Chain A
Amino acid sequence: EPEVTQTPSHQVTQMGQEVILRCVPISNHLYFYWYRQILGQKVEFLVSFYNNEISEKSEIFDDQFSVERPDGSNFTLKIRSTKLEDSAMYFCASRSGLAGETQYFGPGTRLTVL
Chain B
Amino acid sequence: QKEVEQNSGPLSVPEGAIASLNCTYSDRGSQSFFWYRQYSGKSPELIMFIYSNGDKEDGRFTAQLNKASQYVSLLIRDSQPSDSATYLCAATGYSSASKIIFGSGTRLSIRP
Residues of A within 8 A of B (CB): 30-31, 33, 35, 41-45, 48, 50, 55-56, 58, 89, 91, 93, 95, 97, 100, 102-108, 110
User: Which residues does chain A contribute within 8 Å of B90, judged by CB atoms?
Assistant: 43
Contact yes or no, A97 B42, CB < 8 A: no
State the majority secondary structure of interface residues on A.
strand
Residues of A within 8 A of B41 (CB): 89, 110
Contact B43 A91 (CB under 8 A): yes
B102 sits at the interface (CB 8 A): yes
Q: Which of B54-112 contact A (CB under 8 A)?
A: 88, 90, 96-105
Interface size class of B (residues with CB under 8 A): 20 to 34
Name the residue in B41, B49, B97 with the highest tally of chain A Cβ atoms < 10 Å from its Cβ: B97
The answer on a CB contact under 8 Å between A43 and B32 is no
Which of A33, A45, A100, A108 interacts with B43 by CB under 8 Å? A108
Known: A43-B44, A102-B32. A48 touches B102 (CB 8 A): no
Contacts of A31 in B (CB 8 A): 96-97
The 4 A-B residue pairs with the shortest CB-CB distance, nearest first, are A55-B97, A45-B99, A43-B102, A42-B104
With A and B bound together, what is the CA distance between A104 and B49 in angstroms? 12
